[in-house]
A and B are shown apart, each in its own frame.
Chain A
Amino acid sequence: MGKILMKGNEAIGAAAIKAGCKYFFGYPITPQNELPEYMSRELPKVGGVFLQAESEVAAINMVYGAAGAGARVMTSSSSPGIALKQEGISYIAGAELPCVIVNIVRGGPGLGGIQPAQSDYYQATRGGGNGDYRHVVYAPATLQETVDLVMEAFDVADMYRIPVMVIGDGMIGQMMEPVEFKEPKKRELPPKDWATDGTKGEREPNIINSLFIDPQELEDHVWKLEKKHELIKQNETRYEEYNLEDAEVVVVAYGTTSRVVKNAIAKCEEEGIKVGLIRPITLWPFPEEAFDKINENAKGVLTVEMSTGQMIDDVKIAVKGKHPVYFHGRTGGMVPDPRDIVAEIKKIAGGEK
């Protein structure tokens, strides 16, 4: 199959349907509306169901029901809407159900704005809801990577029985790029023998639940989740690395920002400055191992984000104090300018503090 020119939000929908997603529950919010609109057109054609819920809270709880019933199901929203969905995400994680959640991030806090932002990093990676849980977070940078990861997200969700979030921003959602739909690598997926699809009188009832009133039982359950998290860290951590062996400065950036950073790196190289890149593709699990590959003569690590500095916490943990860590960020919907990033890199390369 050849390449098609698609808008990001629609490409996400198309990828989900290709991955066998049959159910979508959502609520309107800018800048992701093309995605539910696409699903409302396309899902009925494949025998699926699109339903516009009365709120984000209801939408994620519909996802909870559909996931428990054994379906491949998805919801999408943007930052303030994702905040509302945290209740359901925590329950879904607690009940160990698979689903895919898309966050086309906009600026915050509060109603914030609608332009691209990365200020939901904490919300996405720290468990935005209550309790001891994690979920996988993919942060694609191009539309091709977005469709690849959306398709894989459904498999990863089913494989580990865990919610998977795909995080983009208004730029990923609104832009057009050529995409090609390719089958993700084959995985042996466990059967959904736990689903509430009716006993048919042939088995004991299945119960979907996140309540463990006995503290010992809850502790056992949470450690079981944690073991799963460790397994995901081992198997599913993804990142792109560039020139870490002899870079003077290593830049860390994800999603849209990483594309701006690549422009800045190209400019630096024209001027003979060696710059490396670590681009986390999974924000959780965070690719800590990549930072061990930074050469010991590097003068510093520069984190570039569309926030006032959230991922930088993980960068500092991963750097383990071996290099100074610097920050450059724009926020509120402003996108970093490659020229400013070049200036920051030069400052660090020149040894200025």
Chain B
Amino acid sequence: MSTKVFERTKGLTKKPFHYCPGCTHGIIHRLVGEVLEELGVLGKAIGVAPVGCSVFAYDYFNCDMHEAAHGRAPAVATGIKRVHPDSVVFTYQGDGDLASIGTAEIVHAAHRGEKITTIFVNNAIYGMTGGQMAPTTLIGQKATTAPLGRDEAHTGKPLKVSEMLSTIDGAKFVERVSVHNAANIRKAKKAIKKAFEVQLAGEGFGIVEVLSTCPTNWGMTPTESLKWLEENMIPYYPLGNFRTPEEVK
């Protein structure tokens, strides 16, 4: 007789993902779905989808969903959370969405200590629009709008969102994680769970920055991408917790 060792989380719908092979969005979706299920909050969860590769996130999470304009997910989430303060509200945003066009919204959601949770997927590039440079693109990294590689003198250095947000008092939980191997995926899930617990405890704003891959636009195989992330992104974007309130430590 066979034993069931893995079951699809109830936190996700049965709709197949549209993500490219080797993209880690799928893993991150699963982690969020599992956390919502394990915390028993699916019935009161309301997610906000971004613009970018995860624009269709509203089809994948098995809870009420709201699709926002580019960068505005934290503002939309604010509107929802203020109407339903007992619900569990999260945004799922990429680095073009959150770190470029949506900097004002994310900074001020954190600054107000908005009781929402943000999953910030950083793959150092604009994926959906075809590999343009993002504020998070590494120096020397090629992009369709930085054909010779990002040049610091021209476009500055990559933006470190977790470091920046951890200077804001209202941001009660800030952690950067990665999903390039099994050990890190487990750590990422723990961080995501804590971020939601911070919201449930009414502490304030929580964000988990997840380093992610984009094999298609990086021009690599999935395995090469995981290796590139580990060797190039992690040295610039160090993993770790920047802030945790006492209650959830």
Task: Give residues in A with beta carbon < 8 Å to B.
Answer: 22-23, 25, 49, 51, 53-55, 57-59, 61-71, 73, 87-88, 91, 95, 196-202, 205-211
Contacts and interface: CB of A to CB of B under 8 A. Distances in A.
B192 to A, nearest CB: 20
B164 to A, nearest CB: 15
B65 to A, nearest CB: 5
A67 B79 contact: yes
A63 B79 contact: yes
A159 B43 CA distance: 27
B63 A205 contact: yes
Interface residues of B, number: 36
A65 B44 contact: no
B44 A205 contact: no
A66 B79 contact: yes
Nearest to B70: A87
B118 to A, nearest CB: 14
Contact of A68 (B63, B80, B111): B80
Contacts of B59: 207
Contacts of B13: 205
Given A69-B46, A198-B87, A199-B42, A64 B65 contact: no
A199 B43 contact: yes
A65 B66 contact: yes
A70 B83 contact: yes
A196 B105 CA distance: 21
Interface in B171-188: none
Nearest to B59: A207
B79 A201 contact: no
A127 to B, nearest CB: 16
A58 B82 CA distance: 14
Nearest to A209: B67
A65 B65 contact: no
B169 interface: no
A23 B63 CA distance: 24
Given A25-B79, A51-B82, A197-B46, 4 more contacts: A68-B80, A69-B80, A87-B72, A196-B66
B78 interface: yes
B68 A64 contact: yes
A23 B84 CA distance: 11
A198 B45 contact: yes
A317 to B, nearest CB: 32
Nearest to B82: A49
A207 B58 contact: yes
Nearest to B41: A198
Interface in B87-115: 87, 104-105, 107-108, 111
A245 to B, nearest CB: 50
